[in-house]
Chains A and B, each alone.
Chain A
Amino acid sequence: MNLTLKQFRAFAAIAELGSFTAAADRLQLTPSALSLLIKQLEETLGQRLIERGQGRTMLARAGTDLLPKVNDVLGALEEGIASVRQLRDQARGRVRIACTMTYGSRLIPPLIAAYRQRFPGIDIQLLDGVNDHLPDRVSSGEADFCLTQQRPRPIGLTEQPVFEDDLLVLCPPNHPLLALDRPTWKDATQYPFIMIKSGTLQSELHAFSPSLTLQTAYEVSVITTALGMVDAGLGLAVLGAKTARLMQGFDLVTVKLRDPFINRKICAYTRRDETLSPAAQGFLDFIRDSMADPDPSTSIPTDSQGHLQRQRGL
């Protein structure tokens, strides 16, 4: 028995509108195509469903029996389509992002606020945590994607570049580095550093020159600890320019060092062979677009020649 959706739609429209002409109009069918659909349905069911009277169209008894069942089918389908559309058009949806504390604190929250203004039905959850566990939270399915510094690609994940972030050195306002005209990393090796565990700074410097070895005064897990330590004069630390507002509240200054300029690629990692939900893809695209056209308030003014940059913490 070949029951088709078209037949059901035709039947339900005639039942609702009480007219072949009106139903044909609604379904954008010719009256003869509509009649054919009804005829097929009647033949399949072996029952007359619709009485075509003089001027008026009425359901036959079998049609009356059938109508609620057909409407159940169409109703369930409409609900399904509506639900898919909501997700597709981001009227509804959920995004779970794993990201570092730095980005989780300074970069992503305003973007969540902006995105939710556009798509109020989207629930965006931020899974903040320690950098090196981020990809695991994607692999496990806990997060849709993670946002982190480019790294050797974790198994089962796919990488998409999202933005680049210049690396700045944080120091107290009276630090000798600030007195130099064109401070370099070589200069910075003179001073103790607060290193972030599992950070890549030392290897980035070694890649430029094996002689660039920083003095590690402390090794901490999270950036806020490092900020406090720099503020206390225990050493220098690094921070992405895009998250420089983190240091607000500390009396600190940033310096962009050269030889090398360190510019970090921040990437999103997603599960391979798995389509992101429209909400997750939408928010990821939104992050990328926002970063390409950065709000000046979130980054440090730079000097085209890479001269010493200062910004006092507020």
Chain B
Amino acid sequence: MALSFKQLRAFCAVAELGSFSAAAQRLSTTQSALSVMIKQLEKELQVTLIDRSTRRATLSIIGADFLPHASRVLEALDAVRTTSDAFQGRRPQRVNLASTLTYSANFLPQLLAHYGRQFPGVTVRLLDGPDEKALARVVDGEADFAVAPQRTTPAQLVQEPLFDDRRDIVCPRDHPLTRLERPTWTDALRYPFVATRPDAMLSLQADLHAFSPDLTLQPAYEVSEITTAIGLVSAGLGVMSLVSRADPFLVGFGLVRVELCDPVIFRQVSILTPRSRSLSPAAKSLRQFIRSNLLDNLILRSSL
């Protein structure tokens, strides 16, 4: 059907003003274009809506019946526009999201792809980097908010738990740990340990000590980046601890995860937002999106 909103607008204008010329003027079009639109509408409906005489345009009986309907359509169309304006208002121009190396590579990309499809007007910059930098970026205002593992939170930030990520040991495929029926942290710590970030090690140490004062990390190597640690472990120089979300990093290095107990350690991943600064609508929409889509199995699975 070739009905159009333009035809309805033309019809309503002529009906209201009682004149093709006045309606054409209001709609910034020509009288003949207006006349064509009305004729198309009448042809579509197979009725005469407007009786044209030399002097004026008046509604036919059917036209008078149709007018309130046509007006309602245009009102409803305005409501769509209002919704659309609300979309524009909600539309974040740019969001700066800070995260850590692990989550910048293994969790957020899928979410951001999903978000981008839903909010094509939004540009998200992912500020990846070392863990402590993620928080500093939020404090400085470089980032709107951060997704990062739980840690001692600066006073300027509010921490909101997002999900728990299990922390275990990673070792070469043929490592003796892989042959144990019920490997524990006590077992794991018999082997040289490759430590990564000091703050991550502090939180791991705290969890281990909470379980047993005997569980003490004595790193054989201390490096800055996970990727370096993975290289060292892959070279047979030791074992390392890693959250499960980082597993994709292991592919290609011949490494496996060994799930440990006594204790089972989880690391809470949080959203960290500034305490005093309110988020832009853009950032709010992304934060809400991350929160609500965490529960989406599709995303979780695809990142595992």
Interface residues of A (CB under 8 A from B): 1, 3-5, 8, 42, 44-48, 51, 60-62, 65-66, 69-70, 72-73, 75-77, 79-81, 83-85, 87-88, 272-278, 280
Contact = CB atoms under 8 A, between A and B. Distances in A.
Interface string B49-73: 0011100001011100110011011
Nearest to A94: B61
A5 B120 contact: no
Contacts of A275: 48, 51, 60-61
B220 interface: no
A112 B45 CA distance: 27
B76 interface: yes
Contact of A87 (B65, B119, B121): B65
Contacts of B249: none
A88 B45 contact: yes
15 contacts: A48-B120, A51-B117, A60-B117, A62-B118, A69-B80, A72-B79, A73-B76, A73-B79, A75-B76, A80-B72, A83-B65, A83-B69, A87-B61, A87-B65, A88-B46
B62 A4 contact: no
Nearest to B83: A69
Interface stretch (B84-92, B199-207, B224-232, B238-246): B84-92
Interface in B165-204: none
B51 A273 contact: yes
A77 B60 CA distance: 19
Contact of A46 (B61, B77, B81, B87): B87
B22 interface: no
Interface of B: 3-5, 8, 45-48, 51-53, 58, 60-62, 65-66, 69-70, 72-73, 75-77, 79-81, 83-84, 87-88, 91, 117-121
B46 A277 contact: no
Which 8 A-B residue pairings sit nearest by Cβ, starting from the closest? Answer: A80-B69, A273-B53, A277-B61, A72-B76, A73-B76, A76-B72, A275-B48, A46-B121
A84 B47 contact: yes
A77 B120 contact: no
Given A5-B5, A45-B84, A83-B65, 8 more contacts: A51-B117, A76-B69, A76-B73, A79-B72, A84-B65, A88-B62, A275-B51, A277-B60
Given A51-B118, A69-B79, A5 B3 contact: yes
A276 B3 CA distance: 24
A97 to B, nearest CB: 14
B60 A65 contact: no
A107 B176 CA distance: 111
B119 A48 contact: yes
A66 B51 CA distance: 37
Nearest to A72: B76
A69 B121 contact: no
Nearest to A9: B1
Contacts of A61: 118
A77 B79 contact: no
Nearest to A272: B53
Contacts of A42: 120
A70 B79 CA distance: 9
A73 B80 contact: yes
Contacts of B120: 42, 46-48
B62 A80 contact: no
B58 A274 contact: yes
A77 B120 CA distance: 30
Contacts of B46: 88
Nearest to A271: B51
Contacts of B5: 3-5
B302 to A, nearest CB: 11
Contacts of A4: 4-5
A60 B79 CA distance: 19
A5 B4 contact: yes
